Chain A
Amino acid sequence: MECRAVRNSLSDYLDGQSIWMSDGEVRSVETHLVSCPACRNLKIELSEIRTAARELPLHTPPRAMWTRLSNMIEAEIAAENAPARQTQASSGWWSWLKSRRFTFSLPQLAGAGALAVALIVAGISGIFGTNSTTLNLTGAQSALLPEEDEIKADLERRMAAINARKVKWNPQVRAEFEQHMAKIEESLKQCRQMLQSNPKDAVHQQMVRALYNEKRQFLEDVERLKW
């Protein structure tokens, strides 16, 4: 089975193999996952997104919000295209958008899902005035250790799952978590700066590794504590 086929089947596979897929298809996907790290990682990421999304509180936006949004979009499009598309102005872009049918591939849906989760979390965090912990201090810099990109990707995955759950935590625990993370981030930033000035410095290489490890273990503990 090719990666593309496996990726298209992953959603059904995770939904419950016996319902959506034949036994043969399930076996093919599982055989492929054993030998393909990229698809295996995608499966893990999708599972985590599903878990995180399932744990998010449901918020139904007020009807007025949709009306406002559609009015804004229509007004903006109408203003931009006024001279060229005067004849179509009465039907409106929003009506056109609603009349269309779209099909998305699994990676597109997964990406959209991840984006939606991130936006919801960011929105909710903004509403409740909490600081959402991110990996921004080290994320934008180039790798100083050969394995650094891999470490960062792993940490970002863990952090996304935790950020999605964090809104439900006790405020004090959430504040303490943020505080611990900020401290580790600060140390990491300092050690990385030292390493950047002397990339062959074994002491700072070890310190940076230890701090990444500290961060990973802390996130692992939080996951195990099931907050």
Chain B
Amino acid sequence: MVTAMLLTNAWSSPKLPRSVAKLFSALAMGLVITAAAHSASAQTFNRTFSVAPETSELEVVNQMGTIKVTAGSSAARIVINAKQLDANTKIDAAQHAQGKVKVEVTGLGAVDLEVAVPASSNIDLLAYKGSITVTNVAGTVRARITDGNIQFTGLRSPRVEAHSTKGNVSFSGEVLPSGSYTLKSYSGRVDATLPANSDFKLSAASYRGGMDLGGFQMKFEKQTDQLVEASYGAGRASVHLWTQEGSIHLHRKP
């Protein structure tokens, strides 16, 4: 749209020859029509489910596109907003008898999903291509993607699992005393940003990419170029980082 406006402005410039101005005008119109057609072809899908905050559970299976899950303002509702960018896809959203909400996309096309959940929700996300973002959730979180990045921000979860086959994985959040945090990528980079006052046992392995364990003064039990087993503080939580081809970066959050 910005390009179209620039082209329209250029058309109105008195310095341009008339034929060039006409060409710009045609291009601008074309761009406007294309943009309008694109926005018209994207279908929206909105659904809201009532849930009990203490047992709230969400499962999302998406083929291609983004999945964004955020702890919303409501403690008793799961709100789904999806943008269907391809007519070949079908979105199903249903609530099981136990209260679990499942969103499933079938058909190979792009769907962008935004879901607001109660902070205490347990979450299980799977996508083939695109990206997964989870923010401010305090329940257990499991996310898997074949081709794309996974980003966890502001989590306060007792159990976290993230795995990307071909993409980066990053985690930033609290480390609860008996929590378990597993971040894996086959060929991408793994980043974990943990509070300075954390208390964990680390197992990190990178076959090719190397490791940067940041500012944590750890007690090493095993330390090679490819594998590190160490503990920080009393070592109560378990942090497991793995990548075959990528690098590992552990950051200390002050």
Contacts and interface: CB of A to CB of B under 8 A. Distances in A.
A180 B222 contact: no
Which of B108, B144, B146: most chain A CB closer than 10 A? Answer: B146
A184 to B, nearest CB: 7
B187 A218 contact: no
A206 B243 CA distance: 12
Main secondary structure of the interface of B (DSSP, over half): strand
B146 to A, nearest CB: 6
B149 to A, nearest CB: 16
Contacts of B165: 180, 214, 218
Nearest to B108: A170
Interface stretch (A24-32, A126-134, A143-151, A219-227): A219-227
Nearest to B59: A224
Given A203-B227, A221-B144, A225-B126, A210 B61 contact: no
A125 B157 CA distance: 45
A59 interface: no
B207 A207 contact: yes
A182 B63 CA distance: 21
Which of A170, A191, A225: most chain B CB closer than 10 A? Answer: A225
Given A173-B108, A207-B207, A184 B126 contact: no
Contacts, number: 51
Contact of A180 (B63, B166, B205): B166
A184 B187 CA distance: 10
Nearest to A207: B207
Chain B interface size band reads: 20 to 34
Interface residues of A, number: 22
A202 interface: yes
Interface string B184-215: 10110000000000000000010100000000
B163 A217 contact: yes
A203 B224 contact: yes
Contacts of A210: 184, 205, 242, 244
B108 A224 contact: no
Contacts of B216: none
A110 B222 CA distance: 48
Nearest to B244: A187
A39 interface: no
B108 A187 contact: no
Contacts of B245: 187
Given A173-B128, A183-B186, A207-B244, 4 more contacts: A184-B186, A210-B242, A214-B184, A217-B163
Interface of B: 61, 63, 106, 108, 126, 128, 144, 146-147, 163, 165-166, 184, 186-187, 205, 207, 222, 224, 226-227, 242, 244-245
16 contacts: A173-B108, A173-B128, A176-B147, A184-B186, A187-B245, A203-B205, A207-B244, A210-B184, A210-B242, A217-B163, A218-B165, A221-B126, A225-B63, A225-B128, A226-B106, A227-B108
